[in-house]
Structures are given as C-alpha cells and as structure tokens.
C-alpha cells in the first residue's frame, strides 16, 4: 500500500471511529446501567466548542510509544526481505554495468541474451519490491487501525474538554491538503500522544533506536531505471 492510500484509509477510519463514538454517546441513556457512565460523561463535556484545532493523525499513531514499538518490530520482521531485495538489485546493477561496458564487444546473440536477462530480472525485482511494499503496507495499516480505535476517543474527549468544535488532519501539507497552515497553538498532536502513552502504559523506545522504514525499498538509492536496449549503430 502506498502512503497516499494509508492516509486515505486513516482519514476514513478516524472519521468512522469518531462518528461511531459520537453516535454511541448520543444513544446512551441512564436507563441502561452500562450506558449511564457514558451518558454522564457526554453531559459533563458537551461538544459546544468553537475553536478549530489540528492533529497530525499519522504522526500521532506512529509517534506514540506503541506505534513506534510496533513499527520497529515490523521493520525487523522485514529485514530478511530487505536483504533479499538488495541482493536482487546488486545482481541487476552488475548485469547493467556489464551491458554498458561490453555491449560493443558482444556478438548479436550474446547481446540479445544479456538484454533479455536484464529485462527478466528487472521485472522480477520490480514485482518483488511491489509485493513487499504491499505486504508491509497492509501490516502497517493493521497497526494504525488498532491504535486508532483506542486513540479516537482520546481525540474526542480532549476536543470536548478544551473547547474545540473542529479538528483538522494535517498529515499532509498544502496543496495536497486543504489546510494551508496550522500553528503550534492549535496543534493537539503532542497532547493526544502524551495522554495515549500514559493510558497505554507502553514505555518509550530506548534512546538511539533507529526508526523503522516506511516501506521496503530493496536499496538505499532510488530504484534503478530500465537499461537502454538499443544496440549502437
């Protein structure tokens, strides 16, 4: 899954979670013993705020201690795949280098064979990278969804208690997002993360821990372009 899809998913998921929470609160009545506390809480902090706040929901989810821990675990899980992709890429780069240095010396059949080999390995590498990214993205999405179901009520409660009538997601920057700017005074990301960390009980990662990759790439450099296949005239 791409980060763009993840942002769309998170936006839809938090909207659903918050809407469901609001519906649950409005439907709860003191006639039900289990619903009474929720009804009392909703009455104590009515959503009558007029301030506009902002939250980087991606940053909150994966910036929480739980999110950082689980993303690091996921990254370690994919380290063997990362090594495998790097090996495939190194082999492909070696063949491309061979083509660049020997294409003038190879006969027609040998040149065609080498080009075909590069083309086949390039397709295999691209497919492997795409599969790894999709698998990583799916599991990253599962982490985000699990944390979001627990974080959404905190966002709602914090907004109610602090007079916010609207919370905007700033995970993306303008012009990809309709939010042109959001000052630190209206950003509730850190406050929400601090509350979530306290409630989750998950300790902060050890100092010096390297952040997990956002997705497997196979190499530190950008994916190599397809080789030139035109023989010199």
Token representation of residue 218: 């196979």
**Quick check: 6 and 141 in contact, CB under 8 A?**
yes
Q: What is the pTM of this model?
A: 0.67
Q: Is the peptide bond before 175 cis (omega within 30 degrees of 0)?
A: yes
Half-sphere exposure of 135 (CA within 13 A, CB side): 14
Domain coordinates of the chain in residue numbers? 3-200
Partnered with residue 168 across adjacent β-strands are 54
Closest CA to 173 of 3, 52, 2: 3
pLDDT tens for the chain, 233 residues long, are 444 444 444 444 444 444 444 444 444 433 333 333 333 433 444 566 789 999 999 999 999 999 999 999 999 999 999 999 999 999 999 999 999 998 888 898 999 999 999 999 999 999 999 999 999 999 999 999 999 999 999 999 999 999 999 999 998 888 877 787 787 889 999 999 999 999 999 999 887 666 566 666 655 433 333 434 444 44
DSSP 3-state of 78:
coil
DSSP 3-state of 51:
strand
The torsion defined by the Cα of 109, 115, 116 and 120, in degrees rounded to 10, comes to: 160
């Amino acid at each position: 899954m791409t980060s763009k899809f993840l942002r769309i998913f998170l936006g839809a998921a938090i909207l659903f979670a918050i809407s469901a929470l609001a519906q649950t609160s409005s439907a709860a009545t003191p006639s039900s013993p289990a619903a009474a506390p929720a009804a009392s809480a909703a009455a104590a902090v009515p959503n009558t705020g007029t301030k506009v706040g902002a939250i980087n929901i991606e940053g909150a989810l994966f910036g929480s201690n739980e999110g950082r821990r689980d993303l690091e675990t996921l990254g370690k899980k994919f380290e063997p795949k990362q090594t495998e992709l790097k090996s495939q890429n190194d082999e492909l780069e070696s063949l491309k280098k061979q083509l660049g240095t020997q294409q003038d010396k190879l006969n027609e059949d040998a040149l065609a064979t080498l080009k075909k080999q590069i083309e086949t390995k390039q397709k295999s590498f691209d497919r492997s990278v795409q599969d790894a990214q999709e698998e990583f993205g799916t599991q990253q999405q599962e982490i985000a969804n699990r944390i979001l179901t627990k974080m959404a009520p905190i966002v709602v409660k914090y907004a109610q208690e602090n007079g916010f009538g609207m919370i905007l997601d700033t995970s993306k920057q303008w012009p990809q997002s309709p939010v042109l700017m959001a000052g630190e005074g209206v950003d509730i990301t850190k406050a929400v993360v601090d509350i979530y960390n306290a409630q989750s009980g998950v300790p902060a990662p050890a100092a010096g821990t390297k952040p997990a990759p956002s997705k497997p790439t196979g190499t530190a450099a950008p994916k190599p372009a397809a080789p030139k296949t035109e023989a010199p005239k």
